[in-house]
Amino acid sequence: MTDPILARIQAARADGPRRSPLANWLLRHREAFARILRDGGANWERFGAVFVEEGLLPRPEHFDASGPEGRKARRRVAETARKAWARAQRERNAVAAVPVSQPVAQPPAPVAAPTSQPTGESPSKAQDRLARLKRQTLDRSGRKA
């Protein structure tokens, strides 16, 4: 890296991950996880429990409790997992939508425009006609040349 600003940006990025462990995992295993969702649907509460057990999401207070507090904690985890998947999908789609840099196409060579002068008219006569037309236009508009 030769640019000092890019080197500093790279160093700043190395200070800490931009994404959560779950987001990184989802991005790495996107195809396989998408296949699971396609084949069997999503059970985000169960997926959330697996993500918590594997350390991809923090275990919230009351997560293992029975009753309304436990259900509420597990639903929050499920919603977090679902949103992380949605962000991973958006990010993946955004990266896919960025065009790969391609060489800029050169414009086509100019095509000789057909002349507007009548057949047999010399260039000087064409210039005279153009000057006369310009004068007429200026006279009609009330402007002076």
Count structural domains, the chain.
1
CA–CA dist 1, 121 (Å, integer) = 64
Q: Is residue 111 part of a domain?
A: no
Of the candidate ranges 3-7, 87-91, 116-120, the one whose mean pLDDT is the lowest: 116-120
Which residue would you say has higher pLDDT here, 67 or 121?
A: 67
In a domain, 39, yes or no: yes
* Residue 34 to residue 42: CA distance in whole angstroms: 10
Residue 138, in any domain of the structure: no
Q: What is the pLDDT of residue 97?
A: 60
Q: Domain range spanning residue 48? A: 18-97
Residue that is written with structure tokens 């998947």 in the block? 85
In a domain, 90, yes or no: yes
Q: Which two tokens stand for residue 116?
A: 């507007």
Query: Does residue 109 lie in a domain region?
Result: no
Residue 122 within any structural domain of the chain: no
Q: How far apart are CA 13 and CA 88, in angstroms?
A: 19
How does pLDDT run across 134-143, given as a tens digit for each residue? 888 888 887 7
Decide if 141 is inside a domain. no
- Tens digits of per-residue pLDDT, 95-112? 666 566 666 666 666 666
Tokens representing residue 28 in the block: 């790495």
Q: In whole numbers, what is the pLDDT of the chain averaged over residues?
A: 83
Per-residue burial over 43-71, b = 16 or more CB atoms within 10 Å of its CB, e = otherwise: ebeebbbebbeeebbeebebbeeeeeeee
Residues ≥6 apart with Cβ < 8 Å to 85:
26, 33
